[in-house]
């Protein structure tokens, strides 16, 4: 349960990071509100998951999930280019997260 909450919280990190970019310095209300709600959900979930998951592992997984999801969304929307090198490095991040889970 804690791991699932951690993963979902990492996905909300991608939501708030994307909304932060789209808020254009908090000058657009919609994305600014999405940022605020997603950040609260993301941090709240991380906080809850850290009750059972060690902080180093939990934080690393949370950041990795958020970072990979943010890049994937940016690639899918055309905001960022797709390359084989990027895909390989994203796979390495995912492999590291799986390794942390297995090692826990």
3-state secondary structure 12-76: HHHHHHHHHHHCCCCCCHHHHHHHHHHHHHHHHHHHHHCCCCCHHHHHHHHHHHHHHHHHHHHHH
Position 8 scores a pLDDT of: 98
Domains in the chain: boundaries: 2-103
Residue 100's pLDDT band, with cuts at 50, 70 and 90, is: confident
**Whole-number Å distance between alpha carbons of 1 and 15:** 21
Position 19 scores a pLDDT of: 97
Q: 57-81 pLDDT, tens per residue?
A: 999 999 999 999 999 999 999 999 9
Model pTM score:
0.89
Position 97 scores a pLDDT of: 86
Q: 4-46 pLDDT, tens per residue?
A: 999 999 999 999 999 999 999 999 999 999 999 999 999 999 9
Residue 104 has pLDDT above 80, yes or no: no
């Amino acid at each position: 349960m804690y791991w699932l909450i951690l993963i979902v919280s990492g996905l909300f990190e991608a939501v708030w990071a994307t909304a932060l970019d789209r808020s254009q310095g908090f000058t657009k209300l919609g994305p600014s509100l999405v940022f605020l709600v997603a950040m609260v959900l993301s941090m709240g979930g991380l906080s809850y998951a850290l009750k059972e998951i060690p902080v180093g592992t939990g934080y690393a997984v949370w950041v990795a999930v958020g970072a990979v999801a943010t890049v994937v969304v940016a690639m899918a929307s055309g905001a960022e280019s797709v390359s084989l090198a990027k895909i390989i490095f994203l796979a390495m991040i995912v492999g590291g997260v799986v390794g942390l889970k297995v090692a826990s």
